[in-house]
Chains A and B, each alone.
Chain A
Amino acid sequence: MSARRSARTGPLDAFRRRYGAGPLHLLSLLACFALAGYVVDHMVHARHGLRILVWFGGAVVAHDLLLWPLYTLVDRAAVRTLRRHPDRLPVVPWINHLRVPVILSAVWLAVSAPLVLRHSQATYHTATGLTENVYLGRWLLLTAAAFAISAVLFALRLGRARRVGSSKV
């Protein structure tokens, strides 16, 4: 693909020019797709196999076109909203004191959502004999702890910044 090679004119270079990479690139990708094709063939012939395919494809859409745009817009909205009033902004950097607990809480929810939202209550009870009722409270308390710790750290930094600021004056 490099410029040095494309200056030459062998059959290999003609291939590279037309295809955009070397033959090894093509061979490996074809092997990859053949294996994937075998798997897909098994999926579609399996019971509820189309659902597997839909979930597999849906996973890409869910991340790239829903989750990523959503968290990006939320982050930008947070940054922008609070910067609209620069005079009221605190003197120490603050955005990550918001980001960190939000991200922690969101990931904790992501790995335990069925428990926290009691979405699998029936099957959970069948398996364990217990209920999922404790998990919402646990997640909320953990979230509260994350925000509280972040707030305390921020307060400490604010205090230090004020002291440093006033001693300079």
Chain B
Amino acid sequence: MSPEGAGGEPGNDPADEHPDVAADDAGEEVAAAPPERGPADAAVDDDAGEERLRPPSPAPSRRIPGAARLIGLAGLDRPGRGPFDPRRWRSPVRGPWLTSVFGSVLLVGIPLEFITGLLSYAAYNPRLAGNDPTHERGLLGFWLFNWFTGPTWLFRLTQGIHVALGLALVPIVLAKLWSVIPNLFAWPPLRSMAQMLERLSLLLLVGGAVFELTTGILNINYDYGFQFSFYKGHYLGAWAFMAGFTIHATMRIGRMRAALRSRRLRDELRTPLAATVAEAPSADGLVPVSPAAPTISRRGVLALVGGTSLSVVVLTVGQTLGGPFRRLALLAPRGQSYGSGPNDFQVNRTAVAAGVSRRALDEGWRLVLHGPDGRPVASLSRSELLGMTQTTEDLPIACVEGWSTVQRWSGVRLPDLARLAGVARPAGARVESLEPHGAYSRVELSGDQVRASRSLLALRVNGVDLSLDHGYPARLILPAAPGVHCTKWVSAISFAAEAR
């Protein structure tokens, strides 16, 4: 984080003060325009002056035949004013190279977000009836597969990356949008059919990026003010975003590579503010026609954006790493400690909120096992479960919100319970909670999950009984599965028939 400080003398030319565009003071900006371009205020200018200001590209009327009249009526054949006047864009650090640096980061980051997002969706095993949180995937679920049961940290890793990287991309996306914002005000706004369609696709790109980041941030912070299903919105939005992103990336990757080659990063990192000049003019419309004196160097911009991104990661990623790092996660929703006792780790949905306290503490609680025909085949008290072979596993609770915590769980293996129900190799199972309502009061497990040797019905954690908030009297804990599938306050397990 090494700000380069303001540059240039506080000169007499008022236009020097404005590194950027503003719509409120055309007069000042125009004073700085190169004289050969003519005065910009078309209202007091004659036709000849307007003619000189016309951009060099072919007039719109030649691109879309028969539209000339319409274009004339709409004023599109006159020079752009305000932000539509290219001379008003004066930041000397804007240019294809800088944009391409941000673009190349996003070219890696966005697909990684998409892939980890798809994996997150797959981790819910949405093809099993009742598990799909989106309800609306349609053909967009064509790629789904049975989620893995190992390595145990898999979902912790993919979802941790999804959330931490998503947050890290916030400053990069904003910087990228800042760097190309002059193109929003390109004049004339519609030069050809091709350009019009391309601009339309940018709605998907910009809308998608901002929408996905916003809904993601709101969701991890438990803010559901958007009043639609997060899963549905974030999943469908991601596909619309990727439609725009793929188009944009394929169309611009050539220009991006050329722009990256136009300057050397090593040289930029050695260029101080005083030596910062605009990039060579290009057809992108990003390099200012009349650059202002720099107030920040290019390396200063990179340090600012990269440093901000890094600071966001440092202040949040501790909620995923857990342990001593959680104390660093000052701005993460799971950056608060519960204490140091065996049950003092992150709670998701308290017993009070779930409305299970009385029934969970009831001495008469029984775990009911159902066979494939739906009939109850066994009913076990907590002491009977504790009398069965106990297994201890270190497994994470990893939440879709990105946080996770690894604990030492003890209890009965799910395969042992399946055998007790008379099914040696069940093709699946449904686990139900005492919770009367709530999206995750029940879960459908895949055959792999039921048969995994590390899948536990946990009774104890870190050497003591589970606390009420952590699922007493018994909870599910599954390797590599999303936390919400580790159903708490389990009341019944129904095993499906033998797998073929």
Contacts and interface: CB of A to CB of B under 8 A. Distances in A.
A123 B3 contact: no
Interface size band for A: 35 or more
Contacts of B237: 39, 52, 56
Task: Kindly state the interface size class of chain B when it binds its partner.
Answer: 35 or more
B197 interface: yes
B243 A114 contact: no
A128 B348 CA distance: 5
A63 interface: yes
A111 B331 contact: yes
Interface in A1-59: 1, 17-21, 25-26, 28-29, 32-33, 35-36, 38-40, 42-43, 45-49, 51-52, 55-57, 59
Contacts of A55: 211, 214-215, 226, 228, 233
A165 interface: no
B478 to A, nearest CB: 20
Interface stretch (B108-116, B134-142, B145-153): B134-142
Interface string A74-95: 0110011001001001001111
A151 interface: no
Interface of A is mostly: helix
A20 B195 contact: yes
Contact of A59 (B192, B211, B304): B211
Interface in B231-273: 232-233, 236-237, 239-240, 243-244, 246-247, 250-251, 273
Contact of A72 (B22, B139, B218, B352): B22
Q: Determine which residue in A39, A43, A104, A113 has the highest number of CB atoms from chain B within 10 A of its CB, and name it.
A: A39
B225 interface: yes
A64 B199 CA distance: 14
A51 B211 contact: no
A25 B194 contact: yes
B193 A18 contact: yes
B181 interface: yes
A160 interface: no
A132 B483 CA distance: 22
B17 A21 contact: no
Interface string B460-480: 000000000100000000000
Contacts of B336: 128, 130, 134
A31 to B, nearest CB: 8
A127 interface: yes
B1 A100 contact: yes
A68 B9 CA distance: 27
Nearest to B190: A20
A169 interface: no
A73 B300 CA distance: 21
A162 interface: no
A103 B307 CA distance: 11
18 contacts: A38-B138, A49-B232, A59-B211, A64-B181, A69-B23, A83-B17, A92-B5, A93-B4, A93-B6, A93-B273, A93-B295, A103-B304, A107-B308, A113-B223, A135-B331, A138-B331, A139-B331, A142-B315
Interface of B: 1, 3-7, 10, 17-24, 63, 65, 135-136, 138-140, 167, 170-171, 174, 177-178, 181, 184, 191-195, 197-198, 200-201, 203-204, 206-211, 214-215, 217-218, 221-229, 232-233, 236-237, 239-240, 243-244, 246-247, 250-251, 273, 295-296, 300, 304, 307-308, 311-312, 315-316, 330-334, 336, 338, 346-350, 352-353, 469
